[in-house]
Each structure stands twice: as C-alpha cells, then as structure tokens.
Homo-oligomer: A and B are copies of this chain.
Amino acid sequence: VLTVVPPEGTTSSEFTRAARLREALKGAPSPSIVLGNGDDAAVLRPGGDVVVTTDVLVEGVDFAAWAPWDAVGHKAVAVNLSDLAAMGAEPLAYLMSLCLPRGFPEPHVEALSAGMASCGALHGLPCVGGDLSRTSGPVVVGVTALGTVPPGLALTRSGARPGDGIWVSGVLGAASTGLGLLSQQAGLSRNILETLEKFASGAHREAVRAQLAPTPRLALGRALRGVASGCVDVSDGLAQDLCHLLVASGVGARVEVARLPAHPSADPAHVLSGGEDFELLFTASDAAAVERASRACGVPVTRVGQVTAGPGLDLVGLVSLPGEDVGRLDMGEMPRVSGAQGLRGYVHFPAAP
C-alpha cells in the first residue's frame, strides 16, 4: 500500500505557515490583480509598462542580529519600493521568498510578516506570491516588487544632460546615523515602536526610524515623471549613486558639498557616503517644474549641483576650505561594461595635509 508523503524537506507546520503567511499578506482586492497568491503563479493586469526589481536581505549581512523582525519585513518591502520610486512607478504587487532555519520561532515569523504587511498596506500593494524554504544558514528574505508606469514615462539613470540641475529629496545621513545609534544600544527590542521609544531625542528617533523603516519616495517619483531627466535612489550613499547616474548618462557633475541637506545628527562623512537613505537623487532642466513637483507631493527637495559635460564628479568644498576642489572621480578610466560599479578603484582623494 502506497502512502502519499509530503514533499521532501517540508513539515506539516511549514504548510500551515505558508497558508498563514498567504492570508496575512494578501492585501485588499484590486482590479489589477486578476489572480493573487495560491495558484501556480499570480496574474496581474497592469495597464501600462511594468517596472520590476528584486532585492534580498541576508541576516548578518544586510541586517543585524539585533534588528526587530517587523523592521526586517518592513525594510525588505521598502527597499524594493524605493527602486520603483526611482523609476516613477506606481506599486502594483510584490512576491517574497523566505529561507528559515529549522525551529525558527513562530512569533518571529509573525513579526516579519506583520512588517511586510504593514509596509504593503501603507503603499497599497498586496503580496501575490511567495516561496518558503528551509535553510541550514542565516535567514534570507527576498522580495520582488512590480509597479506600473504610463508607457514611455519611466524615469531612468541615463537621461541627464549637461546644464541640468541636480536635486536630492529629504535629508542625507539619517539611516547611517540610526545604524550607529542602534549598534551602541544595549538590549534587543521586540519591534520597531519599542525600539524607537528607547531614544529620547527627536532627531535620534528620526534617524533610527530611517534605519529600521525607511520611507520610499513613491509620490515624489510619480510627480517627477516628465520632469526629471535622470533619477536614482540613494541606497549606497550620494557620491556612489550619483556616479551610477552620471556614468549611465555619459556626463559629469559639480556638487556643492555645503548644500547637501544633512540630517541634524549626521556625521559629515555619512552625508556623502552613508547608505540606505532611500532618498531620490535626480536631474532636471526645469527648476520651476521641480519646485511644483516637490510642493505637489509635500516632499522637500534641495538643489545640490549641476550636470557637466564631464567626465568626472567635482565635489566642491569637500574639506572645510570653501571653493576648493578636493575630490574627483575619474570616470574616463572606468571599464565600459561594469559602469559605475567599478568606480571605487578610481576615487582619487588627496591625502590629508
């Protein structure tokens, strides 16, 4: 007599877990979701171009052991939404994959899923698919987000032209400051709110929130359709992400370091090179249109420089001698294919005096 066995490596509780996750993350019905989670695949009816991106967070690499699990879930969705924002896209849906060690506590799964669900609900997108696997290693959370944009209106990195202004939204250095504050903080917290309560200063709390639960600039991205010539989100630090944009556009830039909008508690180094701010960095030829877009969505933007024929990025006023040009990224030497991702090897800063 034959018995029907579960697929290798799964247990009854994992099946129940998959069903619970599906229910917790399914979101509200929408006419563009023809078929949600639960079949072989989901079916979406986007009504425009489809924008799609994927990001994976690994425990111990992309998030620390002390990170509350709801923050991990929130951030896994938010970092993907930030990529959609940089394309000017409207969020549509996401899929997630989760690799968990055997015996991973159910309350942690619930917190992780609550963080994902809350970020999804905040920005109106459901989870339409997922995969759950065991692992003998660290927790891995992968998210793929899909968005839509009217045909041909996606913002890209490649449209910046000499003479365009350069703007950045919000403030810089908050997330790295938050990471520093959290790393010094003794004792784990169970969730984002409990963690925030440990910080009395408003500026510190804002920095910690930027680290744990970043806000993707979706409304600004949409408002910049037809306005921005080039756009990128600040995930690796302003200097590096600007280089991505400049190389993709085949131009250079001059940035006034003193104009960069620093978070009040930020170390100056974090303003230029601190990662995970998830602000939008963009170029445009029409400053008045940028102002209108910023006002329309209530997100402050700061003009920080200008696109040049290049190649090269001039960071004006990088040390505290006003007007002195001390930093230059020589992009002429970069390998053609790997693009800005090889930039670090070509950063020529003079040694300290």
A285 at interface (Cβ–Cβ under 8 A)?
Answer: no
Asked whether B157 lies within 8 Å of A39 as measured between CB atoms, the reply is yes
Say which residue of B44, B156, B235, B269 sits within 8 Å of A50 (CB atoms). Answer: B44
Instruction: Decide yes or no: A3 and B135 within 8 Å by CB, A45-B50, A130-B54 being known contacts.
Output: no
Complex CA gap A1/B89 in Å reads 38
Task: Name A13-45 residues within 8 Å CB distance of B.
Answer: 15-16, 18-20, 23, 34-35, 38-45
CA distance A136 to B63 in the complex (A): 13
How many monomers of this chain does the complex have? Answer: 2
Q: A9–B62 contact, CB under 8 A?
A: yes
Chain B residues positioned under 8 Å from A83 (CB to CB):
40-41
Give every chain B residue within 8 A of A294 (Cβ-Cβ): none
Contact of B156 with A2 in the complex, beta carbons under 8 Å: no
Q: Is the interface of A mostly helix, strand, loop or mixed?
A: mixed
Asked if residues A53 and B2 are in contact (CB atoms below 8 Å), the reply is no
- Count how many chain A residues have C-beta atoms less than 8 Å from C-beta atoms of the other chain: 105
Q: Can you spell out 14 A-B residue pairs with CB atoms less than 8 angstroms apart?
A: A1-B349, A1-B351, A2-B319, A4-B237, A5-B344, A15-B342, A39-B156, A40-B53, A40-B86, A40-B87, A41-B147, A42-B52, A53-B129, A58-B99
Interface residues of A (CB under 8 A from B): 1-9, 12, 15-16, 18-20, 23, 34-35, 38-46, 49-58, 60-62, 83-84, 86-87, 89, 93, 95-97, 99, 128-131, 133-138, 140, 142, 144, 146-147, 149, 151-152, 154, 156-158, 231-233, 235-237, 239-240, 248, 268-269, 272-273, 275, 318-319, 326-327, 329, 335, 337-339, 341-345, 347, 349-352
